[in-house]
A and B are shown apart, each in its own frame.
Chain A
């Protein structure tokens, strides 16, 4: 989308992904400089950021990106979000996207922004993530697991009127590789509900937790780890919420090609480990998630993981509000993209005080969105605040034209 407006200037690598997403949604060119310029060893864009740029390139039409020689400056001129239409890199209506083995972020790093773009695509978004860099579990870098994306992030789109034909299939599981990089998973995202504008959201009643669900996974290790994690987690959660069920999934380790001199066909197992993803659902449909996986270095008992995850879930719920910290970015961006109406969302004080959320608010205002109105929630002792977000009414540029 050609704009005569000058590019928006940002610095540093913080919040890079959401800046790019906002740029794509609003159609403004961005100029991001000083990307890790102070780092003597690894200046410039990190591998996962490059991967994200390539993903953007794959799902859009006509976007241009220029990266400086050192990788510290990026100019991104967005195109239209096409989704997976045949002829633009998709084969059989499915974009196959391969992540390189040096990726150290979980797949949710790519999935969550992609899901933000998908409702505004021209055609349904169908992406198959493969390759030696797909980590489906949660990672030490702070990404949630793909299970949590499916159970805690994607259902939130329903509140914006986006609910049809959305699927996230985990075809092959993988934990983080031995050095914290790489995996061998395979995940398929189908996002088939495209809208012109998301509905205005008014979510001010967090309700009470009515059920807890979870997925516990072991990849390439004994399934008894699952039972141990479940037992500990349930030991903590069951007295608080009797409707607690944790589903167990035992998968074999994925194989990735590892050619050596003698055997070019050689493969190796990667991404062994286990982990737990928990989701608490409130009576009003608010979702809170927690994710813990075994560290790539190992040395943690499943009981420990289960306990950590259960406590993490309790902590997330204790933060209050209607949105978990992991989902707050998604909610605010969708609200901003909504129709020109004031949407309201009650969030916990700790949730909105997060530096990432503050940064998001600043970025949004730089992109031309009106500021947020924040006031204390009435008759609430938890110290929640109600954030009023005015939609920009941009919504789906592709739909407007088409």
Chain B
């Protein structure tokens, strides 16, 4: 098969050579030189041999006078070459095993696994474009997220911006906005809620807030506006009793991170198993103390 192909190629190439350029089959340089001279100045080379100059003259003659004569001449030459020194053109087609043609192992694995072809071709072709796309999409996504966040903040803090013309609040507004954000993130109270103040002061604030709320409700009622139900004032859940943590244990005294037991406490703990009476006795004494206190009142 390979041999056949070779022959075909030679056969094809021959007639072309005959038709296109019959005279200069043997002297390709002349062709180029003439081409060059046609475009530029004629060359005066010392190199060209007598033969080449001859051929030049001949060619010029051909161009001027008759083509047929010279053609017949060169046909004879080509015939001779056809028979005797035929140039064998070897076509080497084994260029397909270039390293770029070989698929990487991952693709191979994907293809050779039991999965169907239709599912497989996607990963084999897509990864490069997707990586680019993904990057773009990621950038888009993050930009969108940023915008979303900014919008949400703007909506939440818009009441602070009434006076300000800038979207990014500054000064007092910035601090307030920060405080709001903290609260939205889970802070229990505002950073600026005053923790310590005189009782009278606090009472005044409370009373003022209550009166304000009352007035609002009153006005709403008069105008026939239905308001939300008043939130019940939460009483502190531990009725008068403060949660004292570890210090609330019934034995000893907790101070400075340590539970201090005095002798009495130790004795009481040790005795609690056997001598219930003693414990009771102490309890009684305590009760007596309480009684005393009560009498005081």
Contacts and interface: CB of A to CB of B under 8 A. Distances in A.
Interface string B110-151: 011111111001000000000000000000000000000000
Contacts of A163: 116, 118
Given A227-B97, A231-B97, A211 B114 contact: no
A154 B116 contact: yes
Nearest to A188: B114
A213 B114 contact: no
Contacts of A245: 101, 103
B294 interface: no
B40 interface: no
A66 interface: no
A279 B117 contact: yes
Nearest to B108: A247
A167 B113 CA distance: 9
A243 to B, nearest CB: 9
A231 B93 CA distance: 9
B4 to A, nearest CB: 13
Interface in A156-201: 158, 163, 166-170, 188, 190
Nearest to A213: B117
Given A155-B118, A245-B103, A247-B103, A231 B113 contact: no
A281 interface: yes
Given A247-B111, A247-B112, A231 B117 contact: no
A279 B96 CA distance: 19
A231 B116 contact: no
A47 B279 CA distance: 98
B79 to A, nearest CB: 34
A166 B116 contact: yes
Contact of B118 (A158, A167, A168, A227): A158
B184 to A, nearest CB: 44
Given A155-B118, A166-B116, A285-B118, A238 B108 contact: no
Contact of B96 (A167, A190, A235): A235
A213 B111 contact: yes
A339 interface: no
Most buried by A among B94, B112, B116, B121: B116
A249 interface: yes
Interface residues of B, number: 16
B97 A167 contact: no
Contacts of A285: 118
Nearest to B96: A234
A151 B117 contact: yes
Contacts of A249: 112
Contacts of B116: 150-151, 154-155, 158, 163, 166-168
Nearest to A167: B114
A278 to B, nearest CB: 12
A188 B113 CA distance: 11
A115 B121 CA distance: 22
B126 to A, nearest CB: 14
Given A227-B97, A231-B94, A234-B96, A169 B114 contact: yes
A203 interface: no
A352 interface: no
Contacts of B114: 150, 167-170, 188, 190
A288 B118 CA distance: 13
Interface string B73-86: 00000000000000
A158 B101 CA distance: 30
B96 A150 contact: no
B118 A169 contact: no
A215 interface: yes
Most buried by B among A158, A234, A247, A249: A247
A53 to B, nearest CB: 27
A150 B97 contact: no
Contacts of A235: 93, 96
B200 to A, nearest CB: 75
B96 to A, nearest CB: 5
A277 to B, nearest CB: 11
A238 B115 CA distance: 26
Contacts of A238: 96
Contacts of B108: 247
B103 A281 contact: no
A260 B113 CA distance: 37
A263 B121 CA distance: 48
A234 B112 CA distance: 19
Contacts of B101: 234, 245
Interface string A3-42: 0000000000000000000000000000000000000000
B129 to A, nearest CB: 15
Interface in A216-269: 227, 230-231, 234-235, 238, 245, 247, 249
A156 to B, nearest CB: 9
A150 B103 contact: no
Contact of A155 (B94, B96, B113, B117): B117
A2 to B, nearest CB: 37
A111 to B, nearest CB: 12
Contacts of A151: 116-117
A170 B115 CA distance: 11
Contacts of A169: 113-114
Interface in B46-73: none
A308 B113 CA distance: 26
Nearest to B93: A235
Contacts of A211: 121
A307 B94 CA distance: 14
A215 B112 contact: yes
Contacts of A152: 117
Of all A-B residue pairs in the complex, the 4 with the closest CB atoms, nearest first, are A169-B114, A167-B114, A151-B117, A155-B118
Given A213-B121, A247-B103, 12 more contacts: A150-B116, A152-B117, A154-B116, A158-B118, A167-B116, A168-B116, A169-B114, A190-B114, A213-B117, A235-B93, A247-B111, A287-B117
Interface of B: 93-94, 96-97, 101, 103, 108, 111-118, 121
15 contacts: A150-B117, A154-B116, A155-B116, A155-B118, A163-B116, A167-B116, A168-B116, A188-B114, A215-B111, A230-B96, A247-B103, A247-B112, A249-B112, A279-B117, A285-B118
